[in-house]
Amino acid sequence: MIDISNRSIWKYPLFASLYFIQGILSAISYTILPIYLVDIGYSLAISSIIIGIAMLPWTLKFFWGGFVDYFKKYGRKRFIIIGGFLSFITLIVIGFVDANASIIMFTILYFICVLGIVILDVAADGWAIEISYKDEHGKITGSMFGGQYIGRAFGAIFLGFIAFTYGYNYVFLMAGIFILVVTFFPLIFEESKIDLKTKVKIRKTLINEFKKKNIQIISLLAFLSIIGSGIITVLIPWYLEDIFNFNISEIGLIIAGFLILSAIGSLSGGALADKFGRKKVIYIFTSCSIISIITLGLSPSWILFIIIYAFVVYFQSGYYSVVVAILMDVTNPQLAATQFSIFASIVNFGLILGNSMSGSLITIFGFNRAILYGAWFMGPLLIVLYFVKIEKQKIPN
């Protein structure tokens, strides 16, 4: 097996592959599913609520993070495989369910599918924190989200083609097969034995961590960092279909191009943050993102819309990977999966809030004003960032 302890470069493709799996499911959640639900007769508002409910397991990462840490003597790989296999099974079952006839069953099954990916995710995050140094966190998060965006791009193109050519049921079947194959990739890597001699009182240590003022401010930063992006992410496929009359296959190709830029944004944002500092990169990338989104809402043609949105996704993915690097920086290694999963739950609550709001904002205000609200929600992030204290990185020999 491959040893990824210390500064092995193999850790980057490992975590990129695990986040690639998440990207496949994200392609369904944010590109395929919104179009599918509208096509079978559900309104934009109802569709966004259904997606929001199905994505709720992401807000419960704190529970599964604690669960994985409690049983960490069994290692992280075991939970990665369990989570991936659970997602695979439910996707196969969903492939035989008619959402139009049984939307409740469909939503419950997709909820369980997302839960499987959440279990995989918290185990992967805990593993990444345990084996990486602080000066690697930017590159680690860059590789993670780079892998996720590539997965979303691949899913948008391939699954969009499958949906257009063969039908939506085949999308779930194919996604399940991809997730199953990649889930077993970690088996070729060696997992270091975890030192269990030093017992940590998880509850007491966790409470002490979140009593710290800086941790509280960073938690607020995490929540605010993603609301605007959550609004925009769900809105874009609907905008392309309703305003510019693209079909699902064409939308998949366009979204894929955006996601490749997102991967580049994540990798460059993480690398720049490791070199020049976290706050500086977030200020620059977030400000550019806000300006781009405001301009996006005023685009008169689909060509200009796509060009401007390319800048939006680049800057959003760049600053977000740095926010996650900050969360890794302040996570207590003794609570690797637990504390980081709480941070991630806070982030995901903001994301789901944005996702759920998008349909209602479009219905009430129209597409262009809904886009402007996406930019407005990013403003408070810059204010809160000012109060965040970043420790200087100490690079080990």
Domain limits of the chain?
A: 9-189+202-386
Confidence of residue 397 (pLDDT cuts 50, 70, 90): very low
Confidence tier at 300 by pLDDT (50, 70, 90): confident
**Average pLDDT over all residues of the chain:** 84
Q: Give mean pLDDT, residues 272-291.
A: 89
| DSSP reduced 3-state for 132 | coil
Angstrom distance (rounded) from CA 286 to CA 69? 33
pLDDT tier, 85 (very low <50, low <70, confident <90, very high otherwise): very high
Question: For the segment 361-383, what is each residue's pLDDT rounded down to a tens digit?
Answer: 888 888 888 888 888 988 899 99
Average pLDDT over residues 344-363: 84
Residue with tokens 């590539």: 150
Identify the pLDDT of residue 147: 87
CATH 1.20.1250.20 fits 9-189+202-386, yes or no: yes
At 199 the pLDDT is: 55
Average pLDDT over residues 134-139: 73
**Percent of the chain predicted with pLDDT > 90:** 20
pLDDT of residue 194: 57
Sign of CA dihedral 93, 99, 105, 108: positive
Residue 332: pLDDT over 90: no
The confidence score (pLDDT) of residue 7 equals 65
pLDDT tens for 114-134 read 999 999 988 888 877 777 767
Whether 206 shows a pLDDT value over 90: the answer reads no
pLDDT score of 90: 95
Residue pair 285/374 in contact (Cβ under 8 Å)? The answer is: no
Residue 214's CB is within 10 A of a number of other CB atoms, namely: 13
- C-alpha 298/C-alpha 3 separation (Å) is 51
Phi and psi at residue 189, in whole multiples of 5°?
-105, 145
pLDDT number for residue 1: 63
Mean pLDDT within 27-37: 86
**Number of neighbouring beta carbons within 10 Å of residue 8:** 14
Q: What count of Cα atoms within 13 Å lies in the side-chain half-sphere of residue 241?
A: 19
Residue 241 has pLDDT above 60, yes or no: yes
Task: Give the per-residue pLDDT at 396.
Answer: 44
Q: Is the dihedral of CA 126, 148, 374, 109 positive or negative?
A: negative
Distance CA 197, CA 373 (A): 51
Res. 240 pLDDT band, cuts 50 70 90: confident
